[in-house]
Amino acid sequence: MTPDLSIVVPLFNEEENVRPLFEAIAAALRPLPLSAELVLVDDGSSDATFARALELPRGGRPRLRILKLRRNYGQTAAMAAGIAHARGRVIVTMDGDLQNDPADIPRLLAKLEEGFDLVVGWRRERKDHWSRVLPSKIANRLIGWVTGVPIRDNGCSLKAYRADLIKAIPLYAEMHRFIPAMASLAGARIAELEVRHHPRRFGRSKYGFSRIYKVLVDLLAIATILDFARRPVPWLAGAGLLAALCATLAGALFLFARPAPGVAFQGVVMLSGALAAFLLFLAFLSYLLHSTRAARFDRFRLLAARASREPGAAAERFAP
Amino acid sequence: MTAEPAPRRLAAATGTVSVVVPLSRDLEDLEARHARLRAGLELLARPLEFVYVLDGPLARSRAALAALRRAGEPIEILAFARPTGEAAALTVGLRHARGAVVLTLDPEFPIDPAELPRLVHRLEAGEADLVTAARRVPGRAGGGKLERLLGWLLGCRFEDVRSPVRALRARVAAELTLYGNQHRFLPLLAQAQGFAVEELPVPALGRNGPGLVRAVGWPSLLLDVVTVFFLLRFLEKPFRFFGGFGLLVLVLGGLATAWLVFERLVLGVPLGDRPALILATLMVVLGIQIIAVGLIGELVTFAWARESADHRVERIVE
């Protein structure tokens, strides 16, 4: 039987939070007329998280599905595992540290039913130390600027998706930050919704400052992927042609300028020519990759047609 | 190149201890070694199975083992038609082993066979999926240079990473696939797949401690370390590796070029004849190339994500 809603929560060393989390979610779901399952993913915790999760009442509402990963894989992988094993038609993801408030779930669902495919939580008033908030603000600006999807809070885990949308988006490494960008590529309709944010009650935060560099590098990678999925060839070919242009201009300068430029300058001309050739060959390589895996890129591209829905198609089901 | 490993035979025989022995060259005293091994393992009082994997046409070993087999020894012989490498031999042996516990051995590895039962007991008593026998030279704890290098790069704490004597649970034997020289880093790879790994110190015989590497072996070993570092850290996010190097080189090259142009325009230093210009431009070019290659790597990862299941679910409870 397919539940209407799956709530996916990755847990890493959250033994004190498991039960309060379950109770808060159960309370938030009580007034909703829909069947729900809760997918808890124990991401290789070293404390009693899994044991606490097993103690939770099973068979009630929400129905429980507990996954135990073999080791600690990180938040994205844990979330991906949870999403892969979630059976609901709508999937809500949230953090396991109780900083997100499950009471926001009905609002997210209502928003989704207005015709959106993805509703992103926005923690307007973050209850974290500035050393966590500041890098995250910079990262969000960068992500919005590069991907062209100006989401104010990419790092917020509280999100609601159509299951077929999120299941078609490849999630690996730390990609969860870029889900809105990926989804927008697939033509999804994205909404932002302000959500509550609580200070941490138990346990410690698992983030650090080194994230800025990682986000920066990941961002460059994701921008390439997004562009590549849209148009496989131009990116590298464009760079190659640019280098070829440089070489040609420099070459012309070399031929016609008097007195003739020195030996080192000639070297520079040859180098940019070599770079142009290299990039063009890489462009062919990427084209080869695209053709051998066309199915993957297509699935992602064609999602656009499937993902967007008319507003209110199933609104009555989820109306709070 | 690694041969496609034979599918693991079904129905793991419970209680049986399998011993996988890859052989890369003919040993004069193979029969005697086998007898010593057998004697040591008899202490377990469990059904035994020996899987000898001959890496190449080792006629003498093959004949000797066949004779032992005819004499009633529980020996399986697998042979590669041509030398394929220890990793491939080990992988094929692991797939072929039927025991609930699988031991891997190097016939030339000096270890007292009487230590082997301890290894099996340790595996079965504890939580670990893999127990390796760490050689310990008396009076010198801690690992060798390689282990220190790995510890620094990857933060792993092993005393003897390359020890070929290991006890594995059947599920590890069924899943591990090793390529190239990866058998040298088997504990690290097993850990990356989510298996729990322990070390059991055993007294090293003779001068054979973990720190001893033949001088010729160093270059290839360093290459291996770099490979395993990349494999464990950046397989999912290749651009974090390439991008870091590429951006660094690109920025340095860009700054150098800017300085040279500044010198030419403001200070009037002639530019066209300076080799420094070539160096600066070369760095820019190299930086762009590294970045471009990294981005292709990222596309490969994206194209194949999901299918290469990157997380292993151990249990599902409903």
Q: ipTM, 2 decimals? A: 0.77
Q: Is the dihedral of CA A129, A135, A137, A139 positive or negative?
A: negative
Say whether B305 and A171 touch across the interface (CB within 8 A): yes
Measured between beta carbons, which residues in chain A are less than 8 angstroms from residue B239?
217-218, 220-221
Answer yes or no: is pLDDT of A252 > 90.
no
A30, A46: one domain: yes
- Determine how β-strand B166-169 pairs with β-strand B130-136: antiparallel
Contact B288, B257 (CB under 8 A): no
**Touching B: A residues 8-37, CB under 8 Å:** none
Q: Does residue A67 belong to the interface with chain B, where contact is any CB pair within 8 Å? A: yes
Q: What is the pLDDT of residue B290?
A: 94
Contact A61, A36 (CB under 8 A): yes
Percent share of chain A, pLDDT over 90: 16
* pLDDT tens digits for range A200-229: 766 555 555 566 777 788 888 888 887 787
Q: What is the pLDDT of residue B138?
A: 67
Question: Would residue A212 count as lying in a domain?
Answer: yes
Q: Does residue A285 belong to the interface with chain B, where contact is any CB pair within 8 Å? A: yes
pLDDT-based confidence at residue A299 (cuts at 50, 70, 90): low
The domain tally of chain A equals 2
Answer yes or no: is pLDDT of A254 > 60.
yes
Q: What is the pLDDT of residue A186?
A: 67
* Smallest Cα distance from A114 to chain B, Å: 30
Say whether B278 and A68 touch across the interface (CB within 8 A): no
Measured between beta carbons, which residues in chain B are less than 8 angstroms from residue A231?
none
Measured between beta carbons, which residues in chain B are less than 8 angstroms from residue A8?
none
Question: Would residue A301 count as lying in a domain?
Answer: no
What's phi and psi for A68, nearest 5 deg? -120, 120
Q: Does residue B295 belong to the interface with chain A, where contact is any CB pair within 8 Å? A: yes
A92, A61: one domain: yes
d(CA A267, CA A253): 13
d(CA B229, CA B236): 13
Question: Would residue A318 count as lying in a domain?
Answer: no
A108, A153: one domain: yes
Contact B314, A70 (CB under 8 A): yes
DSSP B237-269: -HHHHHHHHHHHHHHHHHHHHHHHHHIIIII--
pLDDT-based confidence at residue A174 (cuts at 50, 70, 90): confident
Which of A126, A163, A179 is closest to A39 using CA atoms? Answer: A163
Q: The tokens 């999602």 sit on which residue?
A: A303
> Each residue's pLDDT tens digit in chain B (318 positions)?
334 444 444 444 458 899 999 998 888 888 888 998 898 888 888 899 999 999 988 889 999 999 999 998 899 999 999 988 888 999 999 999 988 999 998 877 777 888 889 999 999 888 889 999 888 776 666 667 777 888 888 877 888 888 889 999 998 888 888 888 888 889 998 888 888 899 988 887 755 544 444 444 677 778 888 888 888 888 878 898 899 899 999 999 999 999 988 888 888 877 767 788 888 989 999 999 999 999 999 888 888 875 545 557 777 777
Between A191 and A295, the higher pLDDT residue: A191
A98, A147: one domain: yes
Strand order in the sheet with B99-104: B75-79, B48-54, B13-23, B99-104, B166-169, B130-136, B197-203
Measured between beta carbons, which residues in chain A are less than 8 angstroms from residue B282?
271
Rounded to an integer, the average pLDDT of A13-34 is: 90
Cα atoms in the Cβ-side hemisphere of radius 13 Å centred on A261:
18
Strands (E), A108-225: 118-123, 159-162, 190-195
Q: What is the pLDDT of residue A303?
A: 59
Answer yes or no: is pLDDT of A314 > 50.
no
Which of A135, A145, A101, A146 is closest to A121 using CA atoms? Answer: A101
Q: Does residue A293 belong to the interface with chain B, where contact is any CB pair within 8 Å? A: yes
Q: Does residue A214 belong to the interface with chain B, where contact is any CB pair within 8 Å? A: yes
A243, A182: one domain: no
Instruction: Select from A63, A172, A290 the residue whose CB has the most chain B CBs within 10 Å, as the one to mutate to test that interface.
Output: A172
3-state secondary structure of B81: coil
Q: Does residue A226 belong to the interface with chain B, where contact is any CB pair within 8 Å? A: no
CA distances from residue A266 to A57, A279, B151, B162 in whole angstroms, order as listed: 76, 20, 47, 51
Q: The tokens 């994997």 sit on which residue?
A: B53
Q: The tokens 């799956």 sit on which residue?
A: A6
Question: Would residue A157 count as lying in a domain?
Answer: yes
- Could you please state the CATH topology (level 3) that the domain comprising B2-234 is classified under: Spore Coat Polysaccharide Biosynthesis Protein SpsA; Chain A (3.90.550)
Nearest residue of B to residue A250 by CA position? B272
* Smallest Cα distance from B309 to chain A, Å: 9
Q: Does residue A253 belong to the interface with chain B, where contact is any CB pair within 8 Å? A: no
Dihedral angle of Cα A195, A200, A202, A204, to the nearest 10 degrees: 120
Instruction: Select from B299, B301, B310, B314 the residue whose CB has the most chain A CBs within 10 Å, as the one to mutate to test that interface.
Output: B299
A160, A36: one domain: yes
* pLDDT tens digits for range A109-129: 999 988 888 899 888 877 777
Between A263 and B160, the higher pLDDT residue: B160
Pairs of residues, one from chain A and one from chain B, whose beta carbons lie less than 8 Å apart: 154
A245, A98: one domain: no
Q: Does residue B232 belong to the interface with chain A, where contact is any CB pair within 8 Å? A: no
Question: Would residue A93 count as lying in a domain?
Answer: yes
Percent share of chain A, pLDDT over 70: 87
Say whether A69 and B311 touch across the interface (CB within 8 A): yes
Question: Would residue A312 count as lying in a domain?
Answer: no
Question: Would residue A165 count as lying in a domain?
Answer: yes
On average, the pLDDT of chain A sits at: 80
**Tokens matching residue B226:** 């770099």
CA distances from residue B30 to A127, B103, B108, B147, B314 in whole angstroms, order as listed: 69, 18, 10, 31, 40
Burial degree of A309 (CB within 10 A; 0-12, 13-18, 19+):
middle
Nearest residue of A to residue B280 by CA position? A268
A91, A182: one domain: yes
Q: Which residue range(s) make up the domain with A246?
A: 231-292
A183, A198: one domain: yes
Question: Would residue A297 count as lying in a domain?
Answer: no
A221, A77: one domain: yes
Say whether A271 and B281 touch across the interface (CB within 8 A): yes
**Angle between the A263-292 and B275-304 helix axes, to the nearest 10 degrees?**
0
Q: Does residue A270 belong to the interface with chain B, where contact is any CB pair within 8 Å? A: no
Rounded to an integer, the average pLDDT of A141-160 is: 82
Say whether A173 and B237 touch across the interface (CB within 8 A): yes
* pLDDT tens digits for range A45-97: 888 889 988 888 887 788 999 998 888 888 888 888 899 889 999 999 998 88
Contact B132, B159 (CB under 8 A): no
Q: Which of A174, A202, A227 delimits the end of a domain?
A: A227
3-state secondary structure of A170: coil
* Smallest Cα distance from B256 to chain A, Å: 14
